[in-house]
Amino acid sequence: MKKEEKAQRYEALLQEVEALVGPESDEIANMANIAAAIHARMGFHWTGFYRVLPTPDGSGEELVLGPFQGPVACTRIRYGRGVCGTAWKEKRTLIVPDVEQFPGHIACSALSRSEIVIPIVRKGAVTAELDIDSAELDTFDAVDERYLTLLLTSLATE
C-alpha cells in the first residue's frame, strides 16, 4: 500500500475510532472495537490486544490475550519473550520487518511475516499492548506507528 493511501485510511480510522470509543469507558469493549475497526480498514492478518495481568499462581505478571480479529493466537506470553514480551520489557514500540529475523519470535500463525507491537503505558507501567501481524514482509513503518499510537490515546482513561 502506498504511503498516501495508508495515511488516508488511517485518517478515516481515527475518526471512526474516536466516535466509537469516545462515549464508552469500558476498556475491553473499546479494545474490541478498535481491533475490529483497524482490521477491517487496513486488511492486516491479525490485529489484537494483549493485557498485562497477574499470573494464575500470583507470582508475577504476564501478557494475556485480549480482544482481537484474525486467526486464533497464543493465549499467554511471558515478560521478555517474543516480540510482545520484548516490547513490554523495553517499554517501546517494536517494528519487525521480517519476523524470522527476530530472535525468539513467537509464531502464532505461520502466515505472519512482519509485525508491529505498541505498548500502552500508564503511570510508567505497561498495562497492555496492541499487536498487529502482516502476511507480507516489511509492512509497518513510521506512518503506522504514528497513527496507531494516536489511535491508542483514545483508550487512555486518565
Q: Point out which residues bind ligand SME (CB under 6 A).
A: 46, 73-74, 77, 82-85, 105-106, 108, 112, 115, 131, 133
Other beta carbons within 10 Å of 62: 20
Q: How far is the CB of 78 from ligand SME (least distance, A)?
A: 10
In angstroms, what is the minimal distance from the CB of 96 to ligand SME?
8
Q: How far is CA 45 from CA 71, 89, 113, 123, in A?
A: 8, 25, 9, 31
Provide the minimum distance between the beta carbon of 82 and ligand SME in the complex, in angstroms, as a whole number: 3
The residues, ordered by sequence, that sit 6+ positions from 131 with a Cβ below 8 Å of its Cβ are: 46, 47, 48, 49, 50, 83, 84, 115, 116, 117
Q: Which is nearer to ligand SME, 52 or 106 (CB)?
A: 106
Pick 46 or 147: Cβ nearer ligand SME: 46
CA distance 137 to 147: 20
- Distance of closest approach, residue 19 Cβ to ligand SME, in angstroms: 27
Residue facing ligand SME at closest CB distance = 82
